[in-house]
């Protein structure tokens, strides 16, 4: 087909998000999320990343690999519209789209090169562990940051308050956890990861999210998210 091409990952992301449920729906909503891109064989030369650290933010172009076999439809129901109004797939950031490509701006923390291996530490990503990265480009604010009309998504999502039970606080205080773990839990749960249709009703279900090697169990009480307990997996 005209212009068709085959692409392969240049890197693979390691991320605290081990399941799609609870991943923020856009980047930079959870700055405490820390990840690492390891460049793949054939691309892992330090020359590839020379001067990259002079930029604070990067564009990642990646594949929604978890959905690869699930196809796409011309109309989708974005969570922002309550999950029941249909809109054109190209008017959304839906993960079910032709070619399954995603793009996110993330913070560059540092570039680590040793023995000809290259890792790029990033934060604030909205991506699943194992996401294939097809390209990386510097974010250039004079061109990329624009005053714009943003359709049905004009503002960042509303946040809920997050409270910890004494069991959950004890777990955080008594274990050696990944950097900024507690902040990550707050940033993730404050967005209320439940499907949009659940957010309108009373809900006494206990939910779990899997971050790093931990399960976080939580409930919604009134307008607040309560972390019940945290377990190592
Ligand atoms: N900023 C990107 C992604 C927006 S959708 C873009 O605009 O293209 C973000 C959602 O993608 C996350 O909430 C998560 O549910 C989903 N996701 C993240 N990584 C994924 C992957 N590798 N495969 C499938 N879905 C993924």
- At residue 61, the pLDDT reads 98
Phi/psi for 70 (5° steps) reads -100, 0
Whether the predicted pLDDT of 58 surpasses 80? yes
Domain membership flag for residue 154: no
Whether the predicted pLDDT of 115 surpasses 80? no
The closest residue, in CA terms, to atom 15 on ligand 1 is: 20
Quickly tell me which residue has 């790093």 as its tokens. Answer: 212
Domain membership flag for residue 4: no
Q: Helix, strand, coil: what percent of the chain each, to 5? A: 20, 35, 45
Same domain for 134 and 221? no
- At residue 82, the pLDDT reads 86
- At residue 113, the pLDDT reads 93
Centre of ligand 1 from the C-alpha of residue 96, in Å: 9
Q: Indicate the pLDDT class of residue 138, thresholds 50, 70 and 90.
A: very high
Domain membership flag for residue 227: yes
Beta carbons of 52 and 39 less than 8 angstroms apart: no
The residues that bridge with 207 in the sheet, in sequence order, are 218
C-alpha 125/C-alpha 34 separation (Å) is 8
C-alpha 180/C-alpha 182 separation (Å) is 6
CATH number at residue 21: 2.40.30.70
DSSP code for 157: P
Same domain for 64 and 137? yes
Q: Which of 80, 110, 144 is the last residue of a domain?
A: 144
Quickly tell me which residue has 């990503």 as its tokens. Answer: 125
**pTM above the 0.75 mark?**
yes
Average pLDDT over residues 108-123: 93
**CA dist 174 to 166, 170, 188, 216, 230, Å?**
12, 6, 22, 16, 12
Q: Which residues line ligand 1 (CB under 6 A)?
A: 20, 23-27, 64-67, 93, 95, 102-104, 126-128, 131
Same domain for 34 and 119? yes
Q: Which two tokens stand for residue 155?
A: 């503002």
pLDDT tens track for 13-22: 999 999 999 9
Whether the predicted pLDDT of 116 surpasses 80? no
Count: domains in the chain? 2
Same domain for 211 and 103? no
More confident residue, 170 or 68: 170
CATH number at residue 183: 3.30.2310.20
Average pLDDT over residues 197-220: 92
Q: Indicate the pLDDT class of residue 196, thresholds 50, 70 and 90.
A: confident
Q: Which two tokens stand for residue 127?
A: 């991506």
Q: Indicate the pLDDT class of residue 171, thresholds 50, 70 and 90.
A: very high
Centre of ligand 1 from the C-alpha of residue 104, in Å: 9
- At residue 199, the pLDDT reads 80
Domain membership flag for residue 1: no
- At residue 84, the pLDDT reads 87
**Parallel, antiparallel or unpaired: strands 57-63 and 75-76:** unpaired
- At residue 225, the pLDDT reads 96
Mean pLDDT across the chain = 95
Beta carbons of 76 and 87 less than 8 angstroms apart: yes
Range of the domain at 109: 11-144
């Amino acid at each position: 087909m005209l212009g068709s091409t085959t692409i392969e990952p240049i890197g693979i992301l390691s991320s605290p998000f081990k399941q799609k449920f609870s991943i923020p729906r856009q980047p930079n909503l959870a700055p405490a999320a820390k990840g690492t891109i390891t460049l793949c064989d054939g691309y892992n030369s330090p020359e590839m990343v020379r001067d990259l650290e002079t930029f604070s933010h990067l564009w990642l172009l990646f594949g929604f690999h978890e959905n690869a076999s699930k196809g796409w439809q011309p109309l989708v129901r974005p969570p922002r519209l309550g999950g029941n109004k249909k809109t054109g797939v190209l008017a959304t950031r839906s993960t079910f789209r032709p070619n399954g490509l995603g793009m996110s701006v993330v913070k560059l923390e540092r570039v680590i090169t040793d023995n000809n291996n290259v890792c790029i530490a990033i934060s604030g990503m909205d991506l699943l562990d194992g996401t294939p990265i097809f390209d990386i480009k510097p974010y250039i604010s004079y061109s990329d940051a624009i005053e714009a009309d943003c359709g049905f998504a004009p503002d960042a999502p509303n946040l809920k308050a997050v409270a910890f039970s004494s069991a959950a606080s004890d777990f955080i205080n008594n274990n050696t956890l990944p950097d900024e773990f507690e902040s990550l839990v707050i940033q993730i749960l404050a967005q209320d990861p439940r499907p949009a249709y659940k957010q309108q009703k009373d809900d006494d279900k206990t939910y779990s999210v899997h971050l790093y090697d931990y399960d976080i169990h939580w409930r919604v009480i009134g307008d607040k998210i309560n972390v019940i307990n945290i377990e190592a997996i």
